[in-house]
Amino acid sequence: MKLAVALTTIAIATTLAGTARAEETSATLKKIRDTGVISLGVRESSVPFSYYDEQQQVIGYSQAIALKIVDEVKKELNLPNLKVKEVPITSQNRIPLVQNGTVDIECGSTTHTKDRDNQVAFSNSFFQYGVRMIVKKSSGVKDFPDLAGKTVVTTAGTSEERLLRQMNNDKGMNMRLISAKDHAESFLNVKTGRAVAFVMDDPLLYGAKAKEADADDYLITGTSPMSEVYGCMFRKEDPRFKKLADGVIARLQTSGEAATMYQKWFTQPIPPKGINLNYPLSADMKSLFANPNDRALD
């Protein structure tokens, strides 16, 4: 009996020591352990990545990845009852909320750029895509040069906002730019005729179009001027937490689980209205799954 008690005591001590070492090298893990809460940044309308369903529950491909990382944090800290707090964010406030500690990790639809590396840290990429536009078929717009002299909308705080300003400056396109508060408002500008095009990440445009009863009236078009990637975002100078998140994403991708998750959210009917994006796995995504990495592509 004494031996069993001693062995149990040693096991507990070893677990606590391991947890302490994790906390010593990760300010994020220490904060989570001290508070008993992990805060996730979530989006309201980034279909199919992170968005509200009819019950106002956050669902989506990115959200599923975030919850896998939460499960790993629970194991790392031996906190099976860790509370998950969801913090609604926008493209404009997501980086400040990570920096100031309000959000511990955000796995929504945030592009990993080299400029943002100066502000926050990113995990391995979980999605690669191009930048295009959605227009009404009746607009006659087919590609980016057709936007010269026209009113164009994108979402404030996104890399597309920077891209459009650069196009105006470098190519003298004289576009009138609208920066909307979120993706839903951006698309509304096209629907109401206030803007001729909504420029955004390719998969988000498919999500916006699929929600419309008159989806056939809209066209996703344009030769993508760049390829970009999404990653989970968290505070800088925390290599231990980054290693944890990277490990989860790499395992999902190389095991085939990420491909199964992709099929669920991009090629099958999804809540809340049973829409199907019909957005098959691209060659770039297959390559990313085979070779997990955290490279920014800009």
Task: Please provide the DSSP assignment of 244-266 as one string.
Answer: HHHHHHHHHHHHSHHHHHHHHHH
Phi, psi of 22 (to 5 degrees): -60, -40
DSSP character for 113? Answer: -
Binning pLDDT at 50, 70 and 90, where does residue 25 land?
Answer: confident
Q: Are residues 73 and 7 part of one domain? A: yes
Give the pLDDT score at 4: 47
Task: Tell me the H-state helices in the chain.
Answer: 2-24, 27-35, 61-77, 94-99, 159-171, 183-191, 202-210, 239-255, 257-266, 283-290
CA distance 164 to 292: 30
Asked whether residue 295 is assigned to any structural domain, the reply reads: no
Asked whether residue 298 is assigned to any structural domain, the reply reads: no
Asked whether residue 296 is assigned to any structural domain, the reply reads: no
Q: How many CB atoms lie within 10 A of CB 6?
A: 10
Give the pLDDT score at 275: 87
DSSP character for 28? Answer: H
What is the average pLDDT across 182-211? 94
Task: Give the tens place of pLDDT for each residue, 126-176.
Answer: 999 999 999 999 999 999 999 999 999 999 999 999 999 999 999 999 999
Total domains in the chain come to 2
CA distance 89 to 96: 10
Task: Give the tens place of pLDDT for each residue, 234-287.
Answer: 999 999 999 999 999 999 999 999 999 999 999 999 998 898 998 999 999 999
Mean pLDDT in the chain? 92
Give the pLDDT score at 18: 47
Which residues have CB under 8 Å from 197's CB, separation 6+?
A: 133, 134, 135, 139, 141, 147, 150, 152, 153, 190
Q: Are residues 221 and 247 part of one domain? A: no
Asked whether residue 297 is assigned to any structural domain, the reply reads: no
Residue range(s) defining the domain that contains residue 191: 130-227
Closest-CA residue to 201 (of 112, 92, 88, 85)? 112
For the chain, percent helix, then strand, then coil, each to nearest 5? 45, 20, 35
Name the more confident of 28 and 23: 28
Q: Are residues 238 and 159 part of one domain? A: no
* Poorest-pLDDT segment among 13-17, 71-75, 130-134, 138-142: 13-17
Binning pLDDT at 50, 70 and 90, where does residue 211 land?
Answer: confident
* Final residue in a domain of this structure, among 227, 242, 259: 227
Tokens read off for 282: 């691209």
* Final residue in a domain of this structure, among 178, 210, 227: 227
Tokens read off for 123: 């995990």
Asked if the model's pLDDT at residue 5 lies above 80, the reply is no
Q: Order of strands across the sheet with 58-59?
A: 45-46, 50-52, 58-59
Asked whether residue 213 is assigned to any structural domain, the reply reads: yes
Asked whether residue 72 is assigned to any structural domain, the reply reads: yes
Q: How many CB atoms lie within 10 A of CB 249?
A: 24
Residue with tokens 């030769």: 223
Task: Say if CB 139 and CB 180 are below 8 A apart.
Answer: no
Asked if the model's pLDDT at residue 8 lies above 50, the reply is no
Q: Are residues 198 and 175 part of one domain? A: yes
Q: Are residues 101 and 244 part of one domain? A: yes
Task: Report the CATH number that the domain containing residue 191 is assigned in CATH.
Answer: 3.40.190.10
Give the pLDDT score at 11: 47
Give the pLDDT score at 147: 98
Asked if the model's pLDDT at residue 185 lies above 70, the reply is yes
Task: Say if CB 51 and CB 45 are below 8 A apart.
Answer: yes
Asked if the model's pLDDT at residue 24 lies above 90, the reply is no
Asked whether residue 71 is assigned to any structural domain, the reply reads: yes
Q: Return the axis-axis angle of helices 283-290 and 239-255, rounded to nearest 10°.
A: 120
Asked if the model's pLDDT at residue 298 lies above 80, the reply is yes
Q: pLDDT > 90: what percent of the chain?
A: 87
Q: Are residues 134 and 92 part of one domain? A: no
